[in-house]
Amino acid sequence: MQLSNLKAGMRAKIEKILEKKEIKIKLASLGIGIDTIIMMVKNDFIGAIILAIKDNRIIIDRDLAKKIDVKVL
């Protein structure tokens, strides 16, 4: 399932990031990587989405979220 398809309140584990190395490095600096557990805070299915990773909130672009595969927990 794509990260962009999660509904608010759902938890998931990141399985694959289908993006260039530079973007993967940027995501890693934000705490987003393979096996990271995330919770969807806000997803209106238009525009950016808000994720929770531990105690942090991160906003990412919907196009990028479409390139991140997750497994729902």
From residue 17, alpha-carbon distances to 33, 55, 72 in Å are 8, 22, 15
Residue 47 placed within a domain: no
Q: In the predicted model, is pLDDT for residue 47 greater than 90?
A: no
Provide the pLDDT confidence category of residue 46 given band limits of 50, 70 and 90: confident
25 burial via Cβ count (<10 Å: 0-12, 13-18, 19+): exposed
Q: In the predicted model, is pLDDT for residue 70 greater than 90?
A: yes
Q: In the predicted model, is pLDDT for residue 53 greater than 90?
A: yes
Number of domains in the chain: 1
Q: In the predicted model, is pLDDT for residue 73 greater than 90?
A: yes
Residue 28 placed within a domain: yes
Average pLDDT over residues 31-48: 92
Residue 71 placed within a domain: yes
pLDDT at 45: 84
Inter-residue contact 51 to 6 (CB < 8 Å) = no
Residue 43 placed within a domain: no
Cα distance between residue 14 and residue 1, in whole Å: 10
pLDDT at 22: 92
Average pLDDT over residues 37-51: 93
